[in-house]
Amino acid sequence: MSFTIEIILSLKIHGCRENGNNSHCWQRLHRYRCFYAHQPGRHQRVHKIKRWIGSVVCASFLLPTQVYAEGSELTEPKLTLKGHTSDLWSAVYSPDGKVILTGSSDKTARIWDAASGTEIATLSGHTEGVRNAAFSLDGSRIVTVSRDGTGRIWDAATGREIAVLSGHESMVEALAFSPSGKHVTTGSIDMTARVWDIATGQQVFKLSGHEGSVTDIAYSRDGNRIVTGSQDRTAKIWDAMTGAEIATLSTHGGMVASVAFSPDDAKVVTGSSDKSARIWDASSGTLLTELKGHQRGILRVMFDAKGERIYTASSDKTARLWDIKSAATLATFSGHRRYVMRMSLSPDGSQLVTSSHDKTARIWDANSGALLYTLGGHLMEVEDAEFSPDGSHVVTASYDGHARVWDLAAVAGQASK
């Protein structure tokens, strides 16, 4: 399928109207332009589509809605969280599993009771979409980051705004809490990451040196180091206490989309649009291993709990499990029909959930790659999926504006019928 047709089909799926003035349509086109900013040819084609739609009947009406024929899937969640008015970009459980936090392009984040699905609070104040949202490790604070160029700190119990993190010069896309919960680091299209004091909302220092947008951030388990990924094809390791740059990881041939520390903090893994993941010594920045096999760019990377294996999610519609020592693929998670955006391991490490732009999330045996369940029913792309802290539930977040909560015991029952 050509890139232009793929964009037009996506606009139809997302409800672009015949008059060509639908604001949701323009928001989506703007997001595509931002997403493909590092790919000049595609960025320009999206711009041309936007101009064309403005002068003729909306392109979404020129092609049929059904792109892929879906097989059987489970469509009965325990709860559907309704309240957002636009795309959901993230969904995460609180550390105690009692509430769920969602972030949306409708400029809000919302807190929900995980047991009943009742909305507890709406976090309002951002003037553009909330790109990401997270809890501190003790669950007492929430930080949201937005395309309005700010981050915000909130009281997780009440939803009260505590501080606005102002200083970035462009959209803020990434965030990570320090293990201590005293600091949060945010990453922006302005090519910087910034470390903030959670108690005061003041900037502690700025991490400068990247020559492209900061795409992802991770802390080491001991809290002493930060790793950032960037569209400039590098990752950088920083001293979290001083902001000094420790190492630049610079052999990728494309954007570094995802970064993570190993559980023992000895290694860093990076995933790139160059189709590879790479493992580095976290102290020296020396390249240790390259993981090759994906047919398209890697969007997400993570270590298993023991630090012996790595999971990757890719725009080639698959996820993979790798052995670190041999760099061999141990399992390929095949079945999705579009990009695999994000993934999460169950607390016991036995299951992997993946979210995809094919409108489903899928639960797999984390060791063999066998498909266990397909979670369907969303009307649009599923951007995020995560296990609850006790492993009994999964939450999925979709561009259809809804999050769904799945009871895995009930899912198993549905699948056995």
DSSP track, 170-211: S-EEEEEE-TTSSEEEEEETTS-EEEEETTT--EEEEE---S
**For residue 186, pLDDT beyond 50:** yes
Weakest-pLDDT range from 39-43, 177-181, 313-317, 395-399: 39-43
Residues in the chain: 417
pLDDT digits (tens, 9 = 90+) for 222-270: 999 999 999 999 999 999 999 999 999 999 999 999 999 999 999 999 9
Residue 11: how many CB atoms within 10 A of its CB?
Answer: 23
Q: How far is CA 51 from the centre of its chain?
A: 29
Q: What angle do CA 21, 24, 27 make, to 5 degrees?
A: 100
Q: Is the pLDDT reported for residue 20 higher than 50?
A: no
Task: Write the burial class of residue 2 (CB in 10 Å: 0-12 exposed, 13-18 middle, 19+ buried).
Answer: exposed
Which pLDDT belongs to residue 25?
A: 52
User: Average pLDDT, stretch 395-407?
Assistant: 98
pTM above 0.75, yes or no: yes
The pair phi, psi for residue 294, each rounded to 5°, is -65, 150
The pLDDT of residue 49 is 52
The rounded distance, in Å, linking the Cα atoms of 115 and 108 is 22
Which of 30-34, 283-287, 303-307, 342-346 is least confident? 30-34
Least confident of 32-41, 328-337, 338-347: 32-41
Where is pLDDT greater, at 145 or 413? 145
Residue 205 has pLDDT above 80, yes or no: yes
Does the pLDDT at position 62 exceed 90?
Answer: no
∠ Cα 201 204 207 (to 5°): 120
* Least confident residue range of 64-78, 180-194, 355-369: 64-78
Q: Assess contact for 304 and 325: CB atoms under 8 A.
A: no
Report the relative pairing of strands 267-272 and 256-261 from DSSP bridges. antiparallel
- Cβ 161 vs Cβ 123: under 8 Å: yes
Catalogue all structural domains in the chain, each as residue range(s) with its CATH number. Answer: 3-62 (no CATH), 79-416 (2.130.10.10)
Q: Is the pLDDT at 272 greater than 70, yes or no? A: yes
Which pLDDT score is estimated for 44? 54
Largest CA distance in the chain: 57
Judged against a pLDDT cut of 50, whether residue 67 lies above it is answered with: no
Res. 351: pLDDT tops 80: yes
Name the DSSP class of 74. B
Long-range contacts of 99-103 (CB under 8 A, 24+ apart): 99/156, 100/395, 100/403, 100/405, 101/133, 101/134, 101/135, 101/142, 102/133, 102/397, 102/403, 103/129, 103/130, 103/131, 103/132, 103/133, 103/144
Mean pLDDT of 365-376: 97
